[in-house]
C-alpha cells in the first residue's frame, strides 16, 4: 500500500519554535515521501480526518488542525515513538472517505500500530469499523446518546449498533433525556452495556474494565459539559468534565485490545480561547501516554502472571472463576459457555465484582456475557 495515495502531510508550522521537550519536537512526521515505511518502533499514529459533510459542513473539518496546534505544545510525556501521518485525503463521497480510512487502518493494524483519529464528525469512525468488521469486536462510544442523532437511521454507526451486526456494543456516559425507552429495551435484547453519566461519574474507575475490553472507541465531545467544551457540536450544560474524559482515554490507551480511538464533534469557530481544542489535545495526550505504557495483559496469554480464585455459586451449582494480575492488580473473570470450554469468554472486572461474588451476588457484566454467549 502506498500511503501517499491516502494521506496529506501536515506542515511543520504546528511544531513550536521553543521548548525542546514539547510533544511536537519528539514526534515522527510523515513527509509525503513515496514508499514511506513506518518505523517498527512506532507504537501509535495520529491521523486527522477533516470531514464534515455528514453535518452539512458544520465546521468540524477544522478540528485536526486546531487540535494539533495545542497537542504539539504539550510535554513529550513518556518515552516511545509516535508518528503523525497527517490528514486522510477525503473522497468524492462520504463512502469514499470511510473506505479510505478503512484501508489506512488495515495497513496500520498489520504493523501493530494503534491509531488515534482526530475528526471530523463521529460518522467518520465507521471507517474504523470497516477495517475490523471481520473480527469479533467490542465497539464502545463515549457519548450522551445511544443512537447518534444526526441523520438518525442514516448514521452509519447506528447501522452498526442497531442492525444486528455481530458487534458487542457498550456506551459510557449516556444522558437519560437523550435516550428513548425503545432503544434501551432493544439494546437489552442484545445484552449491550449502557452506563448513565451519573453512574460513571460517581466512580470513574469502575468504567476501566469496560474500556479495557474495547477494540474500537469513539469519543464524542458532545459527552462533555459546556463549561469544559464550549465548542462541542451539540453543547449541553451537563456531562463529563475534562478530567473525566482524559481518564477514560488513558484507560483506552492502556488497554491492549484498543486498535483505534477517535475524537469527534467539535466546531472550532465556537471555541472560546481554544478551550475545546486544548481539551481534545489533552485527551489525545492521555490516550497516547496510555499506549506507550500498555502491556499485553490477559490470563489467556500469560497465566503465569495471575492468581486464580474460585468461588462456588450455589444457585448455578458452578464455580465463578476470577483472575488477578499479580503485578498490576487488575482483575478478570471467566464466563463459561454451555457449548464447551473453547467458547468461554474472559472479560475484565473490578475488585468489587470479586467481592460481590464472594457474597453470592453475580456481577452484572458476568451475567450479561453469560446470557449473550449461551
Tens-digit pLDDT profile for residues 299-357: 888 888 899 999 998 877 788 999 999 989 999 999 998 887 788 999 999 999 999 99
Is-contact 150 121, C-beta < 8 A? yes
Q: Does residue 143 form part of some domain? A: yes
pLDDT at 16: 73
**pLDDT score for 153:** 57
56 and 89 in one domain? yes
Claim to verify: residue 188 and residue 117 sit in the same structural domain: yes
Residue ending a domain, choose from 238, 263, 293 = 293
Q: Which of these three, 242, 270, 293, is where a domain ends? A: 293
Say which residues have a Cβ less than 8 Å from residue 241's Cβ, sequence separation at least 6: 201, 224, 225, 228
Using alpha carbons, select from 282, 326, 302 the residue that is nearest to residue 118: 282
Identify whether residues 137 and 261 lie together within a single domain. yes
Identify whether residues 32 and 117 lie together within a single domain.
yes
What CATH number corresponds to the domain at position 55? 3.40.800.10
Q: How far apart are CA 185 and CA 183, in angstroms?
A: 5
247-274: pLDDT as tens digits: 999 999 999 999 999 999 999 999 989 9
| CA–CA distance, 259 with 217 (Å, rounded to integer) | 8
Does 13 lie in the same domain as 145?
A: yes
At 134, is the secondary structure helix, strand, or coil?
coil
Per-residue pLDDT at 151: 55
Instruction: Provide the whole-model pTM.
Output: 0.95
Do 263 and 287 belong together in one domain? Answer: yes
CA 220, 223, 226, 229 torsion-angle sign: negative
Same domain? 278 vs 198: yes
Weakly modelled stretches of the chain, pLDDT under 70: 17-19, 150-153
Contact criterion met (CB below 8 Å) for 19 and 73: yes
The Cα 118–Cα 298 span in angstroms is 29
Of 275, 293, 311, the domain-final residue: 293
Are both 257 and 319 inside the same structural domain? no
Write the burial class of residue 78 (CB in 10 Å: 0-12 exposed, 13-18 middle, 19+ buried): exposed
Cis preceding linkage at 190, omega within 30: no
**Residue 309 located in a structural domain:** yes
Compute the C-alpha angle 218/219/223, nearest 5°: 140
What's the pLDDT score for residue 21?
84
141 and 202 within one domain: yes
* 119, 224: one domain: yes
106 occurs within a structural domain: yes
Nearest-angstrom CA–CA distance, 133 and 277: 31
70 within domain boundaries: yes
Q: What's the CA gap between 284 and 115, in Å, rounded?
A: 11
Taking a C-beta distance cutoff of 8 angstroms, is the pair 372, 191 a contact? yes
296: left (phi over 0), alpha (psi -120 to 50) or beta: beta
Same domain, 49 and 145: yes
* Cα–Cα dist 373/161, whole Å: 18
Which alpha helices (H) appear in 204-359, and where do they start and end? 208-212, 242-254, 275-293, 351-358
Tell me if 298 is assigned to some domain: no
pLDDT of residue 302: 81
Specify the number of domains making up the chain.
2
Question: Does residue 337 share a domain with residue 224?
Answer: no
Q: Is residue 355 part of a domain?
A: yes
Say if 23 falls within a structural domain.
yes
Q: Which domain holds residue 277?
A: 3-293
Q: Given this model, what pLDDT does residue 33 score?
A: 82
Return d(Cα 44, Cα 47) in angstroms, integer. 10
Amino acid at each position: 500500500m502506498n500511503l501517499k495515495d491516502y494521506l496529506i502531510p501536515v506542515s511543520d508550522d504546528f511544531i513550536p519554535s521553543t521548548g525542546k521537550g514539547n510533544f511536537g519536537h519528539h514526534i515522527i512526521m510523515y513527509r509525503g515521501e513515496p514508499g514511506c515505511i513506518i518505523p517498527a518502533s512506532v507504537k501509535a499514529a495520529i491521523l486527522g480526518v477533516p470531514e464534515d459533510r455528514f453535518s452539512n459542513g458544520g465546521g468540524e473539518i477544522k478540528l485536526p488542525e486546531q487540535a494539533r496546534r495545542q497537542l504539539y505544545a504539550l510535554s513529550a510525556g513518556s518515552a516511545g515513538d509516535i508518528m503523525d501521518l497527517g490528514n486522510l485525503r477525503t473522497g468524492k463521497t462520504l463512502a469514499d472517505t470511510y473506505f479510505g480510512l478503512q484501508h489506512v487502518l488495515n495497513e496500520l493494524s498489520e504493523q501493530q500500530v494503534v491509531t488515534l483519529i482526530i475528526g471530523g464528525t463521529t460518522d467518520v469512525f465507521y471507517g474504523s469499523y470497516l477495517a475490523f468488521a471481520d473480527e469479533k469486536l467490542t465497539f464502545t462510544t463515549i457519548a450522551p446518546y445511544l443512537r447518534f442523532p444526526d441523520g438518525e437511521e442514516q448514521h452509519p454507526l447506528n447501522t452498526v449498533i442497531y442492525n444486528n451486526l455481530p458487534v458487542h456494543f457498550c456506551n459510557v456516559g449516556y444522558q437519560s433525556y437523550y435516550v428513548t425507552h425503545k432503544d434501551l429495551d432493544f439494546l437489552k435484547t442484545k445484552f449491550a452495556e449502557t452506563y448513565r453519566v451519573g453512574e460513571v461519574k460517581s466512580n470513574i474507575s469502575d468504567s476501566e474494565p469496560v474500556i479495557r475490553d474495547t477494540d474500537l472507541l469513539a469519543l464524542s465531545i458532545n459527552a462533555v459539559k459546556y463549561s469544559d467544551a464550549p465548542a462541542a457540536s451539540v453543547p449541553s450544560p451537563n456531562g463529563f468534565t475534562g478530567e473525566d474524559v482524559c481518564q477514560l482515554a488513558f484507560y483506552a490507551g492502556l488497554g491492549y485490545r484498543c486498535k483505534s480511538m477517535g475524537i469527534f464533534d467539535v466546531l472550532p469557530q465556537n471555541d472560546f480561547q481554544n478551550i475545546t481544542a486544548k481539551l481534545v489535545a489533552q485527551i489525545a495526550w492521555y490516550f497516547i501516554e496510555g499506549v506507550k505504557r500498555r502491556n499485553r495483559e490477559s490470563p489467556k496469554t500469560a497465566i503465569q502472571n495471575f492468581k486464580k480464585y474460585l468461588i462456588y455459586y450455589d444457585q448455578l451449582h458452578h464455580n465463578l472463576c476470577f483472575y488477578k494480575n499479580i503485578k498490576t492488580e487488575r482483575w478478570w473473570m471467566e464466563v463459561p459457555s454451555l457449548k464447551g470450554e473453547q467458547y468461554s469468554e474472559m472479560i475484565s472486572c473490578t475488585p468489587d465484582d470479586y467481592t460481590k461474588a464472594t457474597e453470592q451476588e453475580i456481577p452484572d457484566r458476568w451475567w450479561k456475557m453469560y446470557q449473550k454467549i449461551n
